[in-house]
Chain A
Amino acid sequence: MEVAVVSTKNVGARIDGGLDTYRGMWKGLLIAAAVWPVWHWYVLRVTDGSDEPWGVVALLSATVVILWQYQESYRKNDIYNGFAASTLLCYVLLYDTVPPLARAMLAAGALWLTVAHQVRSAAALGILIALSLPIVSSLEFFLGYPIRFVLAHCTAQIVSLMNDQTVVVHGTLLTLGQRVVALDAPCSGIRMLWVGLFIAALTACIRLMPLKPTLAIVFYALRVVFLCNLLRSVCLFYKESGLVVLPEWTHEGIGLLCFTLASVCIIRRGCIYES
């Protein structure tokens, strides 16, 4: 029985070779040490309560992927090393100028470029590293209202088609007669999007997808999550407006059901991939 080329053999080699197998990682570790202010900021940021700390989960996942897939000289490394050095240089030059999150992105980019040529699913790993940064509140700030605006209008159209009354939209407020439902900040679906992308990236890592399939599954995840969020919005409008009488626990239940549907679609997409 053939054993997996990437997984079992490498693990065996790593067990036999011990730390020598990771000797090529010294560059990455050196860069990680050099950007220690970013680590300091990161720890403060994820523990201060201003953002959800789930980026740590993505960071740990990325670490596991690196340790699992790491292979010396998997790809030609000159180009990657060059880009890594350039990114690190940008980090140093722009340190005082850019905000902390941008600094963290440059540092993360340099780290990723250092190991990207030595892992099979480099693109997916990069996405995991990006998701590990505390970006949810920033995404909420910049994308939250536009998403809610689009959701509100789509929801209004769908519900109006299914009812004999028209749903009126005022910004992100949906009005049906005297009933008003607001799609406020926690309704934007940014968290669903984050988890959806996390699942897509991790699926791509596990399935050892190269660049194109990784991008395909990521864009697929974006579409699916949006559609499932829309489905959630429509269902919850019926519940919250009182058109449908359901117990309170179904509020979260409907959300989880819609998210499960999205997860199933994403994972199914990853499972049917074959290189």
Chain B
Amino acid sequence: MHYLTPEPPLKLLPLIALLVAQTLINFGTARAQSEEHFQRTLAPYFESSADDDSLQGFPLKGTDVYVSIAGVIADVTVRQVYKNEGRDTIEATYVFPGSTRAAVYALTMEVGERKIVAQVKEKEEARATYEKARAEGKTTSLLEQHRPNVFQTSVANILPGDTVVVELRYTELIVPTDRSYQFVFPTVVGPRYSNYPAEGAPRSESWVENPYLRADTPSPAGFTIAVHLEGGLPIQALSSSSHAVNVNYASASIADVSLTNPTARDATKDFILNYRLAGNQVETGLLMFDGGNEKFFLAMIEPPFDVKADQIPNRDYVFVLDVSGSMHGFPLDTAKQLMHQLLSTLRTTDTFNVLLFSGNSSVLADSSLAATPENISRAEAMISQQWGGGGTELLPALSRALKLPRAENVARSIVIVTDGYVAVEREAFDLIRKNLSIGNVFSFGIGSSVNRFLIEGLAHAGMGEPFIVTSPQAGSQAATQFKKYIQSPVLTHSKLQFSGVDAYDVEPESIPDVFAARPVYVVGKFRGKEQGTIRLTGQAGKGEFEKTLQLDPHSANERNGALKYLWARQRLQRISDYQKVEPNSETKREITTLGLTYNLLTEFTSFVAVDQSVRRNSSDQIRTVKQPLPLPEGVSEFAVGGGISTAPEPGTWLMIIIGSIGLLFVVRRQLHVKIWK
């Protein structure tokens, strides 16, 4: 074997390539230095103002929060104080977080002695109103929702020396877990990563580009929070796990909470208040509100505190495990360990089945098996043989799991373990919602980059809980949490029946099982007089369970006005899940109508307030100032930086085409050599 000497020019090919590349680099570098612009993505950045007007760079002077909790309903007032201590007229924007359960229903703006109540309008219309007022020199404020838990206030035409106070109000339902109530007030939006191009980014994304303070720089904006709690029952174990607080008891069931020594650091972490109320049985409660045109009710079912063994009905589990190609390797190994831990939580009186799915699905048995050691070993052997391959046909697998036969008087939980790399989220949510009466759905997302929208949406639709598992160790913790969460379903086959009352628009549409750790609440509307009964039936550990709630005309309380917002919020959350995936016009119209009808801040409705006094000449300049945010506690400065670019390979088919063209030369060469011989 020997090689012919290559022609001289080809020897120089690599050198030529390097020279060309270096020339391009030098040329491009010179251009970059002269123009100083480059394609970038949206990204937060560090505030670096050091001029004389540095104080003007921080228009938000303080946030004061007042929370009133009555039973399970919290009403929160957030007061944001903006002050212009500079020489220029400014427009201040401030991005802040909110609870995902919050129903923001009011906004007011105070300019000096004047107080203006904001109106809720369709988002684009509100924006146009704001821009028009801004251009005309009127002080105006706009409250928008960018995410269910991210909002933005914009206040325009704050003159030098002006103080403008923006006050928003929201209400939310506090749902206890493990008999413990927790109220959370988020204080800061952390820096977000986005690969959205900065140029032409819509407002729903451009908020990501917000300044942040360095980790060692405290925010000059103050923060206070005060909570007034009326539990209805004696309060137990009231404390904050996040902040140092003072607690004053006005009575056994009424308490006031405030920060001990408010500092700037208080605004870098969520405020978390924990408390318990006395009670030991599965409680049902009914709140009603007569809103004139519509009447609302809230029925709440709470499980008992100490669940005795004979109170726990038999449980049935269907484990739906994704064994598709995308699970191959580390995700499936983690899932196998998780399944081992989940199966080990079963009692011998429980039953279970395992459904494996990829392109097709296969089940361990045609119907659920007793959780004996032999059957569990069989299941583990079946799972251990899986290596990951095929597509991810989630919908057929879910349908099959939901149709598996179930014994009477058995609580069923469907546990889905997947990385969620599917594109059928909406259909999956819909399928689960329609079958809530069959069982709850819990979802485990496996991997470092799971489809959280699907995982959380499945659990939300299935009235379960999502778990994200990024490592085998995290799987162990998740399994323990799941076991604790699910080990005591107290009420199954729950049904609500309405007698003598015309109830409608009930959320949720199906009643899920009641677990010891989580109560169930149902909000809805009714027509006619406050009479009739709401009857809850189900299966409890001791047998049949029934509780009847009587509608009493005297029960309707004006203080329950929050029910209309809570109902609307519940419906918004359900239809917003669809909206995220398919922004079709009908859903958008429904969301907009809900927002306008019930005066709520939504993805498509905003609050706008305009002070009709013209305070700035339209020819005078106005400067926009984004309020720099503090980094959340524990977040490093690496979270803030330029956009992160990547360098993916060219398309495989293009490379194959190039290779094929080159191979033609090889064929030609081969024929030439043979003919020459």
The stretch among B154-162, B165-173, B426-434, B642-650 that forms the contact with chain A is: B642-650
Of B328, B654, B658, B663, which is within 8 A of A206 by CB? Answer: B663
- How far is it, in angstroms, between the C-alpha of A198 and the C-alpha of B658 when the chains are bound? 12
Q: Does B656 lie within 8 Å of A138, measured CB to CB?
A: no
Please name all residues of chain B whose beta carbon is closer than 8 Å to the beta carbon of A181 when the two chains form the complex.
644-647
B233 at the A interface (CB under 8 A): no
Give A104 Cβ to nearest chain B Cβ, in Å.
10
Q: Could you give, for residues 1-19 of chain B, a 1 whenever the CB lies within 8 Å of some chain A CB and a 0 otherwise?
A: 1111110001001100100
Does B575 touch A at the CB level, under 8 Å?
A: no
Q: How far is the CA of A142 from the CA of B13 in the complex (A)?
A: 33
Alpha-carbon distance A187/B646, docked complex (angstroms): 7
Q: Give the residue name and chain of the B residue nearest to A41 (CB).
A: B389
Interface size class of A (residues with CB under 8 A): 35 or more
**B21, A231: Cβ atoms closer than 8 Å:** yes
Q: Which residues of B contact A48 (CB under 8 A)?
A: 324-325, 358-359, 389-391
Question: Is A100 a contact of B389 with CB atoms below 8 Å?
Answer: yes
Q: Is B539 an interface residue (CB 8 A)?
A: no
Given A48-B390, A202-B663, answer yes or no on A233-B647 (Cβ-Cβ < 8 Å): yes
* Per-residue interface assignment for chain A, residues 193 to 207, with 1 indicating a CB less than 8 Å from any chain B CB and 0 otherwise: 011001100110011
**Would you call A45 an interface residue if the criterion is a C-beta within 8 Å of the partner chain's C-beta atoms?**
yes
Query: Is B112 engaged at the interface, CB distance under 8 Å to the other chain?
Result: no
Contact B663 A199 (CB under 8 A): yes
Indicate if A161 sits at the interface (CB-CB under 8 A): no
Residues in chain B near residue A243, CB distance under 8 A: 25, 28-29, 32
- Asked if B641 is at the interface of the complex by the 8 Å CB criterion, the answer is yes
* B662 engages A263 (CB within 8 Å): yes
Residue of A nearest to B17 (CB): A261
A187 touches B329 (CB 8 A): no
Is A79 at the interface (CB under 8 A from chain B)?
Answer: no
A274 and B2 contacting across the interface, CB-CB below 8 Å = yes
Interface set, chain A 186-232, CB cutoff 8 A to B: 186-192, 194-195, 198-199, 202-203, 206-208, 212-213, 231-232
Q: Does A89 touch B at the CB level, under 8 Å?
A: no
B326 at interface by CB-CB < 8 Å? yes
Q: Are A244 and B24 in contact (CB under 8 A)?
A: yes
Residues of A close to B40: CB separation below 8 A: 242
Residue pair A182, B646 in contact (C-beta under 8 Å): yes
Q: Is the CB of B667 within 8 A of A206?
A: yes
Q: Name the interface residues of A42-60: CB closer than 8 Å to any CB of B.
A: 44-45, 48-52, 54, 57
Point out the residues of chain A lying under 8 angstroms from B649, CB to CB: 186-192, 255
| Partner pick for B13 among A101, A238, A261, A274, CB 8 A cutoff | A261
Interface residues of A in 146-187 (CB under 8 A from B): 162, 173, 175, 178-184, 186-187
Pick from B38, B390, B665: contact of A271, CB below 8 A: B665
CA A232 to CA B2, docked complex, whole Å:
32
What per-residue 1/0 map shows which CB atoms of B299-339 lie under 8 Å from chain A? 00000000000000000000000001110111000000000
Chain B residues near A3: list those with CB within 8 A.
674
Contacts of A208 in B (CB 8 A): 670
**Nearest CB in chain B: distance from A238 CB, A:** 6
Instruction: Answer whether residue A143 sits at the interface, using C-beta atoms and an 8 A cutoff.
Output: no
Q: A137-B325, A203-B666, A264-B13 are in contact. Are A274 and B647 (CB under 8 A)?
A: no
**A233-B646 Cα distance, complex, nearest whole Å:** 10
Q: Which residues of B contact A195 (CB under 8 A)?
A: 652, 655-656, 659
B651 and A51 form a contact (CB under 8 A) = no
User: Within the complex, which residue of A4, A256, A264 is in contact with B674, where a contact is CB–CB below 8 Å?
Assistant: A4
Identify the closest chain B residue to A237 (Cβ): B647
User: Known interface pairs A207-B666, A267-B666, A272-B6. Does A50 touch B28 (Cβ–Cβ under 8 Å)?
Assistant: no
- What residues of chain A lie closer than 8 Å to B671, measured between beta carbons? 4, 7
For window 20-47 of B, CB contacts with A under 8 Å fall at 21, 24-25, 28-29, 31-32, 35, 37-40
Give Cα A231 to B20, complex, Å: 12
Nearest A residue to B10 by beta-carbon distance?
A: A268
A270 at the interface (CB under 8 A from B): yes
Check: B387 CB closer than 8 A to any chain A CB. Answer: yes
Contacts of A255 in B (CB 8 A): 649-650
**Would B662 and A272 count as touching, CB distance under 8 A?**
no
The docked-state distance in angstroms from the alpha carbon of A194 to that of B324 is 23
B645 to chain A, nearest CB (A): 4
In the complex where A1-B675, A4-B671, A45-B325 touch, is A273 in contact with B663 (Cβ < 8 A)? no
**B484 within 8 A of partner (CB):** no
Interchain CB contact (< 8 A) of B642 among A178, A235, A248? A178
Closest to B31 in A: A245
A residues less than 8 Å from B648 (CB atoms): 184, 186-187
B250 at the interface (CB under 8 A from A): no
Q: How far is the CA of A195 from the CA of B641 in the complex (A)?
A: 36
Which of A50, A189, A244 is packed against the most chain B CB atoms within 10 Å? A50
Tell yes or no: B677 within 8 A of A by CB: yes
Residues in A neighbouring B325, C-beta threshold 8 A: 45, 48-51, 137
Contact indicator B647/A242 (Cβ below 8 Å): no
Is A236 positioned at the interface, with any CB of B under 8 Å from its CB? yes
**Chain A residues near B663 (CB-CB < 8 A):** 199, 202-203, 206, 267
Q: How far is the CB of B538 from chain A (nearest CB, A)?
A: 42
User: B330 — which chain A residues lie within 8 A by C-beta?
Assistant: 141
Q: Which of A52, A256, A271 contacts B654 (CB 8 A)?
A: A256
Q: How far is the CB of B32 from chain A (nearest CB, A)?
A: 5
Chain A's nearest CB lies how many Å from the CB of B49?
17
Closest to A244 in B: B28
Contact indicator B644/A252 (Cβ below 8 Å) = no
Q: A190-B649, A244-B32 are in contact. List 8 more A-B contacts (CB 8 A).
A: A54-B652, A186-B646, A199-B663, A206-B663, A238-B29, A242-B39, A245-B28, A274-B2
- Enumerate the 10 nearest inter-chain pairs by beta-carbon distance, A residue then B residue, closest first: A50-B325, A242-B38, A244-B28, A186-B648, A240-B645, A255-B650, A48-B391, A99-B387, A236-B647, A4-B674
Chain A positions within 8 Å of B, measured between CB atoms, are 1-5, 7, 41, 44-45, 48-52, 54, 57, 99-101, 137-138, 141-142, 162, 173, 175, 178-184, 186-192, 194-195, 198-199, 202-203, 206-208, 212-213, 231-246, 248, 251-252, 255-256, 259-261, 263-268, 270-275
- Listed by A's residue number, 29 A-B pairs whose Cβ atoms lie within 8 Å are A3-B674, A4-B671, A44-B389, A49-B325, A51-B325, A54-B656, A57-B656, A180-B643, A184-B648, A188-B649, A191-B652, A191-B655, A192-B655, A195-B652, A195-B659, A207-B666, A213-B1, A235-B25, A240-B645, A240-B646, A240-B647, A242-B32, A244-B31, A256-B650, A261-B14, A264-B662, A265-B13, A274-B2, A274-B4
